[in-house]
Amino acid sequence: MNYEELGFKCGLEIHQQLSGKKLFCECPAIIRKDAPDFVFTRRLRASAGETGNVDLAALHEHRKGKVFEYQGYFDSSCLVEADDEPPHYVSMEALETALVMAKLLNMKLVDSIQFMRKTVIDGSNVSGFQRTALIGYDGFVEVKGRKINVDSLCLEEEAAQVVKRGKDKDTYNISRLGIPLLEIATAPSITSPEECRKVAGYIGMLLRSTGKVMRGIGSIRQDVNISIKGGARTEIKGFQDYKNIPKVVDYEIERQLKLIKEKKKVEESVRKAEPDHITSYLRPMPGADRMYPETDVETIIPGTVEIDVPITLENRKMKLVKEYGLSEDLAVLALKFESRNNYSFEKDFEKYASENLSPTAIADIILIKAPSIAKKEGKEISIFKIKDSFLEELSRGRIALSAANDVLKEFAVRGKVEFEKYDLLDESKIERIVKRIVSENKGAPRGLVMGKAMQELKGRANGKKVSDLVSKHLR
Amino acid sequence: MEDKDFVQGKKYVVKLKDKSVMEGVFVSETSIHVFLKLKSGYNAGFEKKNITEYKEVVDRKISRDKKVTKKYDSKKLHKILILHTGGTIASKVDYSTGAVTPRFSPEDLVGMYPELMDLASVESKLVSNIPSDDMNFHHYNMLGKSIVEALKDKKIKGIILTHGTDTLHYTSAALSFALECVPIPIVLVGSQRSSDRPSSDAALNLLSAAYFITNTKSSGVYICMHENMNDEKCVLLKGVNAKKMHSTRRDAFKSINTKPFATIDFNNKKIDYKDEASSTHGNFSFKPFNEKIRVGIIRSRPGLAPEELKPYEKFDGLVLEGTGLGHFPIGFIDKSTEHNKEILSFIKDFADKKVLCMTTQTIRGRVNLSVYSPGRALKEAGVLGHDLDIITETAYVKLAWLLSNYSRNEAKKLYHANLRGEISKRSEVEEYEL
C-alpha cells in the first residue's frame, strides 16, 4: 500500500499500568481472577457535564439501562473502588513516575495538575467516571531519525475488568479498578503502520525504563487512531501486542477503502482489535463534554515534586554493549534480569571483571550457565547466594572459567560449594602431570596428548598453560 | 500577565513564555493560576506569570446550561410535593471554588429524574438552601410551616423532603414530634454520593420515596435511603429511630433498636413492610419548637472534668450521653477522682431546676440506671431515661420539643412516654446489626 497516496494519518495512544498501590487509595495493585469475596450491584445514570450537555458516548450506554454487578476482594478493593468513599491522596509514587515519563518524552509540564472526571457509564468504572489528569503536553520522541510529536501524557485510573456481558447485566471484577495508568497520546503525524509499530515499541521501552510499570499480558495496551482520505477517524482499541499493529491497520484501511468504493459513508467510531486482526464496532467517539473536574481531589502543583530522570533501557543497553563488550542479545537479557531482580550488572562488572574474567563471562554465568544447569539438574539455583564468592574466585584466577559448570552443578545439587576442590594447581604440579602423560604416550600425535592432559586437569589448570607445557615436553 | 479579565465560559487562545499556544474555555482562576478547559476536555492550570498574550476567540459551539422546563401530568391522581433544603441530593459543581456545593434549583432535580413523572404529578419548592449542619430549630419550624401549608392541598398524597445527610435524622426526629398525627407520609431523602455523578444514590432514594408515597396507606415521618451497597432496594426508617452510621457509604442510615419500617424495591415495584405503622390516629396539630430553648449534649469519657459541664448551667435541658448502661464518672475513689464529686453535684443541681436525661454512647441497647450504684445515684439525682432505648439525637430533639410545648413537670413525665415510636418496650434479638 502507498500510505502517502492514501493520505494515511495515524496517532497512537498507549496505556500503561503502574505497579505499587492504587492511584487514590491504599489498596495494592494486584489483579485477581479467583472467586470474589463480595459482590454488589449498581445502576448508572448519564449526567450533564460542565457545559450542560450529556456526552453522546455516555448516553449510548445509559440507553441500555443495564445493571452492573461488581466482584471484589477484601484485600485489594475498598470503599473507594466501590465509590462509597471519596478518593484519598493521590499516590506520590505514581505521580512521580508520570512526571519522570513526561521528562523522558521531552514534554512541558502543566503548572497545576487538576484531576478530571471522564464520564464512562459502560459500567467499567463503579463511579461512572474515570479520574484522569493532564500531566505533560507538547513533547516528542525521535524514532529512526523521525521526530514524532507527543501531544499529551495523562495519569488516570485503570478501569474494572469485564467478567461477563449479558443482556440485562454486565459483571465486572474491580481488583484492577483504580490501578494507576499512564496514557500517552502522540500527534497524528505517524506516516505508516510500520512506523506506528516502531513508535509503540520505543515508547514501551521508555515506560519500562522508569522501573515502575506492571508487567504481563494487558499491562500495556495500544490504541491506534487512523484516518485516510475519504474515510473517517477510527480509534482501534485493545492491541495486546504492538507487533500486530501493521496487520490490523492494513485490514482497517482495506475495510474503509471498500466502503468508500461502494460509496457508503464511513462513520467515526471506536473499534476493537480482534485476535484475527479485523476490527469490530465498539461505540461512537466520546467527546469533551464527558469531562468535568474531580472536586474531591485538590489541585497539585508539580513544581514541588523532585524528578530524577532515569537512563533509558536503550541507553543502558548501548552502555553494556559499548563499554563492557556484551553482545546485544546478552545485553537485552541482562536488562530483563536486572528489572526482575533489582540487580545491577554494571556494579559487578566494576567489582569482578579482571584479566581472568571478562564482563561477558560474568553475564554468561548468571544469565546462561546458571539457568541451563538448573534446568538440566531439575533444581533451582539461587544465584545471589553463590554469586559474590564465586565471581571473586574466578576474578582472582583461583578457579578456572572452565570449572564454572562443575561449580554450578555442585551448587545445584548440594546447595553449597567447596571452592577449594576447584582450585587451580600450581605450575610445578601441572608440569609433573604433563610430563608423565607425554612419557606414557610416546609417539602419539600432539592432539591426543593435549586431550588426555586436559581431561586429567579438567577445570584445574588454565588451557593455555597446559598447551604450552605439552609443546615444551614433546620437543 | 497581571490582572487579566477572563470571562467564565468564553474561549481563549493563550500564548505562554515558552512559546507554546494553548486554546481553551476559561473555567476559573486563583491568584497564581488560570484554569482552561482544553479541547480534549481536560482542565489545565497555567501560571499567570507565564502567560504573555491572550485573546478571546468566538466559538458558537460552547453550549450553555439548558433550562429544564417542568411538566405536569394533570391526569395522574396523586400529587407529590418535593420540598428542597439543599444537601448532596441537590449538588452541583461550583467552578469558582472547585467544590461540590448544595446549589441546585428545584426544577433541575425534577429534570434530572424524569421517572418521577410516571409515578405522580410533581410539584417542587425550595424551602431553604443551607447545608444540613447549619440547621437549627428555626429551620425545623420553617419546614413544619411549609408542610402545614402544603396539607391544605388535599390532592397532595405525600411530601418528599430533600436534605443533606449529616443531620437528616435530627430533622426527621424534629418533624416527627412537631407534626402530631400528620395525615400523610413525609419522607426525608438524602444522598451520600452527589447527584452530579452517574453513580449517585440520589435517584434510587428519590424514586423509592415517591413510589412509597403513591402506594402506601401509612402516614408519618420517614427517612428513605439505600438498604445496602447495591442500587436495588431502599429502607424506610421511622424518623425517630434512624442514625447516620457511616460517613461515606450509601447505606449509612440504620434503624437503631428497632426494625426498619419497610424496604422498597423500586425496580420490581414492591414494598415489604417490616413493622406496623406508628399510630397517627387523632387530630393533626403543628407544635413548633421554641427557638430560644437551649438543650446540650454532654458525652461522658474517662477524665471528664467538671469545668466542662459549667458552661451548660444556664441551659434549659441536658442530654447526658453516658457510657455503658448510662454512667458518668461520679465516684470518689482516690485523690485523683476528688473532682468527680463536683460532677455529681452539678448533675444534682441541674436536675433540680431543669431537665436532664441519660442516653448511652454504645448507640445500641437500653439505658438502665438500676444495675450499678453510680446509675442509681444518677437516677436519685433526678436523671431521666432509665429503661429507655432512645438514641441520643432523638433524645436531644424530644427534650427540646417537650420543653418548647409543655411545662417542666409535664415534659419530665412525657419524656418517658412513647410519643412517636421512639421507645420500644421489648429489645428484640434480631434488632442488633440490622
Q: What is the ipTM of this complex?
A: 0.86
**Dihedral, CA atoms, A211, A214, A216, A218, nearest 10 degrees?**
-130
Domain A427-474 sits in CATH 3.90.1690: no
For residues A266 and B227, which has the higher predicted lDDT (pLDDT)? Answer: B227
User: B254 to chain A nearest CA, in Å?
Assistant: 16
CA distances from B368 to B183, B348, B357, B390, B398 (A): 35, 18, 12, 12, 19
- Helices B340-353 + B373-381 axis angle, to 10: 40
Q: Which of residues 20-49 of A touch B (CB under 8 A)?
A: 40-48
The reply to whether domains B11-57 and B79-286 share a CATH topology is no
Tell me whether A225 touches chain B (CB under 8 Å): no
Q: Specify the pLDDT at position B63.
A: 45
Percent of chain A with pLDDT over 70: 93
Strand ranges, E, within A144-290: 146-157, 161-165, 169-173, 180-186, 220-227, 234-239, 269-273, 279-283
CA–CA separation, A120 and B60 (whole Å): 26
A280 vs B343, residue with greater confidence: B343
Strand, helix or coil for residue A247: helix
The pLDDT of A425-445, averaged and rounded, is 86
Is residue A271 within 8 Å of residue A281, measured between CB atoms?
yes
Q: A300: distance to nearest CA of chain B, Å?
A: 10
pLDDT of residue A167: 87
Amino acid of residue A172: Y
Domain ranges of chain A: 3-24+89-157+180-304, 313-422, 427-474
Beta bridge partners of A332: none
Task: Determine, for residues A79 and B99 on separate chains, whether the beta-carbon distance falls below 8 Å.
Answer: no
Residue A93 to residue A206: CA distance in whole angstroms: 17
DSSP element (H, E) containing A108: strand A108-109
Q: pLDDT band at B93, cuts 50/70/90?
A: low
In the predicted model, what is the mean pLDDT of residues B75-90? 75
Question: How close, in Å, is residue B248 to chain A by CA atoms?
Answer: 5
HEC assignment per residue over chain B? CCCCCCCCCCEEEEEECCCCEEEEEEEEECCCEEEEEECCCCEEEEEHHHEEEEEEECCCCCCCCCCCCCCCCCCCCCEEEEEECCCHHHEEEECCCCEEEECCCHHHHHHHCCCHHHHCEEEEEECCCCCHHHCCHHHHHHHHHHHHHHHCCCCEEEEEEECCCCCHHHHHHHHHHHEECCCCEEEEECCCCCCCCCCCCHHHHHHHHHHHHHCCCCCEEEEEEECCCCCCCEEEEECCCEEECCCCCCCCEEECCCCCCEEEECCCCEEEECCCCCCCCCCCEECCCCCCCCEEEEECCCCCCHHHCHHHCCCCEEEEEEECCCECCCCCCCHHHCCHHHHHHHHHHHHHHCEEEEEECCCCCCCCCCCCHHHHHHHHHCCECCCCCCCHHHHHHHHHHHHHHCCHHHHHHHHCCCCCCCCCCCCCHHHCCC
For chain A, give the mean pLDDT. Answer: 88
Chain A residue closest to B100 (CA)? A295
Most confident of A68-77, B59-68, B101-110, B122-131: A68-77
Residue A153 — pLDDT band, cuts 50, 70, 90?
very high
Of B18, B62, B193, nearest to A108 by CB-CB distance is: B18
Averaged pLDDT of chain B? 88
Q: Give the nearest chain B residue to A290 (CA atoms).
A: B41
Residues A186, A5 contacting (CB under 8 angstroms): no
Give CA–CA dist B154/A327, Å, rounded.
91
Q: Is the pLDDT of residue B67 over 50?
A: no
Asked: is B295-415 a CATH 3.40.50.40 domain? The reply is: yes
A126 vs A2: CA distance, rounded Å:
45
Between the ranges A203-217, A444-458, B267-281, where is the mean pLDDT highest? A203-217
Q: Per-residue pLDDT for A221 more than 70?
A: yes
- Asked if B15 and B1 touch (Cβ cutoff 8 Å), the reply is no
> Mean pLDDT across the stretch B163-188?
96
Task: Name every chain A residue with its beta carbon within 8 A of the beta carbon of B37.
Answer: 50, 288, 291
Question: What is the Cα–Cα distance from A405 to A409, expressed in whole angstroms?
Answer: 6
Give the single-character DSSP code of A366. Answer: I
Range of A31-40, A450-459, B109-118 with top mean pLDDT? A31-40
pLDDT for the residue B107: 62
Q: Is A106 on the interface with B (CB under 8 A)?
A: no
Which residue is closest to A288 within chain B, CA to CA?
Answer: B41
Nearest CA in chain A to B193: A84
Per-residue confidence band for A51, with pLDDT thresholds at 50, 70 and 90: very low
Confidence of residue A58 (pLDDT cuts 50, 70, 90): low
**pLDDT confidence of B218, banded at 50, 70, 90?**
very high
Given the residues B15, B101, B166, B214, the one annotated as active site: B166
Chain A contact set for B65 (CB, 8 A): 48, 52
C-alpha cell at B315: 441551659
Closest-CA distance, A58 to chain B, in angstroms, reads 10
Catalytic one of B37, B79, B157, B244 = B244
Contacts of B18 in chain A (CB under 8 A): 108
Indicate the fold that domain B79-286 takes in CATH: Rossmann fold (3.40.50)
Q: Nearest by CB to A82, which of B39, B200, B229?
A: B229
Domain ranges (residues) in chain B: 11-57, 79-286, 295-415
A209/A57: higher pLDDT: A209
Partnered with residue B24 across adjacent β-strands are B12, B38
Separation CA A124–CA B398 (nearest Å): 46
* DSSP 8-state symbol, A315: H
Q: Which residue has the cell 489541585?
A: A299
pLDDT at B97: 41
- The letter for the amino acid at A399 is I
- Residue A23 DSSP label: S
Q: Does A6 contact chain B (CB < 8 Å)?
A: no
Spell out the residues 6+ positions from residue B279 whose beta carbon is closer than 8 angstroms to its own.
none
Residue A60 has pLDDT above 90, yes or no: no
Query: The domain B11-57: what is its CATH number?
Result: 2.30.30.100
Scanning A228-267 for CB atoms below 8 A from B yields none
Contact A127 B199 (CB under 8 A): yes
- Cβ atoms of B78 and B212 within 8 Å: the answer is no
What is the average per-residue pLDDT within B276-299? 87
| CA B377, B382, B385, B387 torsion-angle sign | positive
Is it the case that residue B75 has pLDDT exceeding 70? no
Asked if B88 is an active-site residue, the reply is yes
